[in-house]
Amino acid sequence: MINTLKYKTIQIFRDYSLPRWLVLAIDISAVFFTFLIAYLLRYNLEPSTFSWALAFKQGLLICSVYIVFMLLFKSYSGLIRQTTIKDTFTIAITNSAAFAALFVITICSRKFDFNPFFNISLSIMMIHYGTVTVTLILFRVFIKMFYVFVSVPSSHSKNVMIYGSGETGIIVKRVIESDPRSGFQLKGFIDDNSKLQGKKVDGYSVFPMSVLTKDFVDTENIKVFIFAIKDISAGKKKEVLESVISLGLEILDTPSFDQWLNGHLQVKQLRKVQLEDLLGREPITLDLKGIEEGLRKKTILVTGAAGSIGSEIVRQLTKYNYKQLVLVDQAETPSFFLDNELKDKFTDCRYDFIIGDVTNELKMDHIFRKYRPEIVFHAAAYKHVPIMEANPHEAFRVNVGGTKIISELAIKYKAEKFVMISSDKAVKPTNVMGATKKICELLVQSQAKRSETETRFVTTRFGNVLGSNGSVIPIFKKQIAEGGPVTITDPEITRFFMTIPEACQLVLEAGFMCKGGEIFIFDMGNPIKILDIATKLIQLSGFEPYKDIDIKFIGLRPGEKLYEELFSDNEQQLPTHNPKISIARVAETDYDYVLSMINDTLKSIYKKSGPEVVEAMMEIVPEYTSKYAATS
């Protein structure tokens, strides 16, 4: 019987909470009845010694004043079962303000001889102030204690350790306790502050990080580790997470305050730690003033706008005071999704979305003629190495031909800046995709050298971006979800990685520090083994590598390197004011010859065989080595 009642009570608490209007009504009722009690106490519990009619009228006056300050300070708006010291303080402030207002009304009534209705006994007001404050606080404390009593965790709850016993950690602890659906039971805090270790915070012990061993995890049956500290360096966070990942725990992270729903954290907002969190990269410091000035009141064209990089550039641009965005992409479905995202999340975004192919010169000329963009971000390109290796004609036509058309239109219509997105695969290329990107770099530099050019051309070169379409991360996640195996080409293969927002922030920064003709290289950190990425993703998914999820090596694909480089041997690395961005000073090239070779290849592209297209690219880029050309 008791268990049934307890279960039904938990169900009620889980599915319902008191609406704010009802909490306000309860609070006002408490104000009224405690005022009558204050009257009785003042007159020694002898109701015949005072006028009940006057008491009722003054009670309504008291309620009117209190309700004004309750609405002003919103003392009724908190979830009662999550009452904190802050909530009780709000009640005290509300009641004190109401008391002060009533005190002023009473003094004025006595001085100016108002109706006796406004002349409330100061002793009654004092008694009422103390009584109603205690009543409202005790009501919330009782509800909270009752909730804690009936919501004792079930045997199916997961034991949790919270990293961080500060304000964020305590908030996470209280959110967990207030939501029986979370399935979490807190076992304690972990904190690096030696002054807190061995003590209790909010009723739970604080442990040092060293306690989190395999034996401790097994003994205490710990299943979840929640990261709940914000004031910490990226390097330290990486260190903590890597020390936990091997323990087989589910690792959750607390979102930043600006992502909480209506200023309140919910259990469902605790997200699984992402691979990006294990990069340990410090936040990028941008020249926001320079970017703002460069974008102010400008019409900006973004090609490949619906792709991984293009769409993030668009998101970054929405923060600035531009005139209009012109978004071009030939892929209908990704464009549809980005269009919906902009309408939902960036309601002030001023943009036109255009479906168009960057190799369609008439269409692109129409766009430039209509919008006259002052800034061009050229992100449109084919990028998947194996696909491009099998389709050299399309790789050259789209990547090189599209860049040629957009760059020439930028010159024709006097765009101020042209920013092209390149790749680390352009350095000593061994595949078709990398070779086309290197040719695009040479093409952009040749455009910058033209005497009639008023446009400032700049190239940005960086490595892989985590989570981009077709990158290893989504592929690995899909393979893990399907039970494996996770396939890797070679156990020694490495790549440079950065997050999409990082890359696009640096694209904006580089675009407004250029003088024209530079190739900007982004600091990608140290190269990371793909095998390490696969291992960590498996562990972050709650599995053990090789035991739960197998890892299989399938050999390098055509044109694939074991490692990538950001600088060629003949390129000199020069610093900029931003330590995350360097300039590659390249050797002088016969740009007229490069342009003529590009034009000749584009004109006869479909008259050539695949090997002949590759040979043409090798002639433009002598350092390009291709097994495709050698074996055909």
425 is catalytic: yes
- Per DSSP, the three-state class of 511 is helix
Helix (H) or strand (E) holding 419: strand 417-423
Owner of token pair 């293969």: 493
Amino acid occupying residue 531 = L
Angle formed by the axes of helices 85-112 and 52-73, nearest 10°: 130
Report whether 594 contacts 438 (CB < 8 A). no
- Of 187, 201, 168, 159, the residue nearest 270 (C-alpha): 168
Structure tokens given for 257: 């305050």
List all residues 6 or more positions away from 575 whose beta carbon is below 8 Å from its beta carbon.
Answer: 582, 583
- Joined together, the tokens standing for residue 370 give 């209509």
Catalytic hit among 144, 404, 425, 437: 425
List Cα–Cα distances, 288 to 8, 318, 378, 421, in angstroms: 55, 13, 21, 21
Six token digits for residue 399: 């990547």
- Which position has the token pair 């204690």? 145
Helix, strand, coil shares of the chain as percentages rounded to 5? 50, 15, 30
Closest CA to 227 of 278, 148, 295, 172: 172
**Paired tokens of 192:** 């690096």
Judged by DSSP in three states, 128 sits in helix
Rounded CA separation 352/336 (Å): 12
Known catalytic residues are 425
